[in-house]
Structure formats: structure tokens, C-alpha cells
Amino acid sequence: MDIGRILEAVNEKKEELWPEVFGYYYAALCSYAERLVQDSVIAEDLVQDILLYVWNCKRKFIHIDELTNYLYRATYNRSMMWLRHEKCKSKYLNRLMEENGPEFDEMFIETIREELLRQLFLYIDELPSEQRKVIQMSVEGLTVHEIAEKLGISVNTVKTHKKRSFKQLREKMKGTATVFWLTFFFS
């Protein structure tokens, strides 16, 4: 997937490119919102609202980082607003409300967490084919033995693939690939 196409989808309102925007951000934003509101359905609704808002707004994003930051920020704000509105007794909110100082740091660290996870998750698709299958099956919940059987490889190979894949995901440097591809779960 081309970063330029993400920006084009948002800035030029190209509807046909929006599936890529979803592939790029959707899961991460939902996950980020869920950590705040503690409800995956609400989280999804909030993210839908935000993306619709972005679709309608006239703002142009020059750099992909600007868009990424904006989306996390909007998700954070929407989620906090929802919490306030619900007068939810969520521990997280109480903590945020009580201490005025560290709340920004905490939000910042949570954003870092989500952004790291988002990038790592996207890179799964760039792994060599067999490694990628091992990771995808692990995510689906298959055991090492089941994966070994399905792929017709040894249990030890599966374990090695897994270990090596996670290491590669972590070590893959952003910027080494400006173009990368994503599988869509079109079903």
C-alpha cells in the first residue's frame, strides 16, 4: 500500500481508495478507543464517526504523520467526551481526572503503544510467505502442532518461524519500505 494513496484518499476525497485507509488505520484506532472506553462496540462507533468526519472535513494533510497524529488525537478526544458524557466510573478516567499533570504523558505513551502495534501488524503481510502463514494462523488461534500439520512442516520449524517473525516485525525499520501491501479480509 502506498502512503501517497492514503493521503490522496483523504485529501482528494477519493472514495475508491478508502478501503486502504481502513486497512491502514481501522484496527489500530478501534483498539486505541477500546482501551479508553472499555467497550469494543462503542469504540467502533466512535471510530466510524471520526472517519466520516474526516471524509467530510476540508482539511488537507501534507504528511502521513500529520494524518496519523490527527486520527489518534481525534480518537482520544472523542473517547474522553463519550466517557464524560456517560459519567462512566471507569478507573482510567478517574485517574486521568484526578491527576492533572501526568495525563498527557500517559496518553502519549498509549499513542506510542498503538502506533507501534499498528506498524508491526501491517508488516505481517511483508513477511516471507511461510513465516507469514505461521503468524496469521497463530493469530487465528491455532496451536504450534496444528500449524505444523497444516503446513506440513516440523513443530520446531514453526517455533523458529514464529520467533524469527516477531523479531523481524520489531526490527523492520519504518522508511525502508515506502510502499507496502496489505491483505484485506474481504469475505
Partner 1 sequence: MDKSVERTVALLRKSYAGELTAEERAEMERLLENEKMRQLYEEIGDDEYLLGEFRRYAGWKPAQGYRKFRKNMRRQSLQRNLIRLSVAASILMALGCIWWLVEPDWLEQGGKIAEITKEPASCRAFLQLSSGKRIVLDESGPMDVHEGDGCVRIDSGQAVYSVGQTTPFKAEEYHVLYVPQGGEYRLRLADGTFIHLNAGSELRYPVAFAAAERKVYLKGEAWFEVAKDTERPFYVETDEVRIRVYGTAFNINTHGLQAVETVLVSGEIGIRKTEGSEEWHMHPGQLALYDRSSGEISFRNVDVQKYIAWKDGEFCFNDDTLEEILEELGRWYNVTVVFQAAEKKEIQFSGHLKRYENIQKILDAITESTGIVFEISDRTIVVK
Contact 64, 7 (CB under 8 A): yes
- Cβ atoms of residues 180 and 1 within 8 Å: yes
Which among 87-95, 101-109, 125-133, 149-157 is the span making contact with partner 1, rule CB under 8 A?
A: 101-109
Q: In whole angstroms, how close is the CB of 113 to partner 1 at the nearest point?
A: 5
How many whole angstroms separate alpha carbon 95 and alpha carbon 81? 15
Q: Judged by CB under 8 A, which of 5, 61, 70, 126 binds partner 1? A: 70
What whole-number distance in Å separates Cα of residue 109 and Cα of residue 186?
Answer: 32
Query: Which 8-state DSSP code applies to residue 141?
Result: T
Q: How far is the CB of 121 from partner 1 (least distance, A)?
A: 5
Given a contact cutoff of 8 angstroms between Cβ atoms, the answer to whether 101 and 8 are in contact is no
| The dihedral sign for the CA sequence 164, 6, 79, 46 | negative
Does residue 11 belong to the site contacting partner 1 (CB under 8 A)? Answer: no
Query: Quick one: which of 137, 122, 129 has its CA closest to 174?
Result: 122
Using the structure block, give the residue that is written with the C-alpha cell 502442532.
145
Q: Determine if 149 is a binding residue for partner 1 (CB under 8 A).
A: no
Q: Is 41 in the site for partner 1 (CB under 8 A)?
A: no
Q: Which of 72, 83, 134, 147 touches partner 1 by CB under 8 A?
A: 72
Work out which of 163, 177, 178, 181 binds partner 1, going by CB under 8 A. 163
Interaction site with partner 1 (CB under 8 A): 15, 18-19, 22-23, 26-28, 30-31, 34, 40, 44, 47-53, 55-56, 65, 68-70, 72-74, 76-78, 81, 84, 103-106, 108-109, 111-113, 115-117, 119-121, 124, 135, 138-141, 162-163, 166, 169-175, 184-187
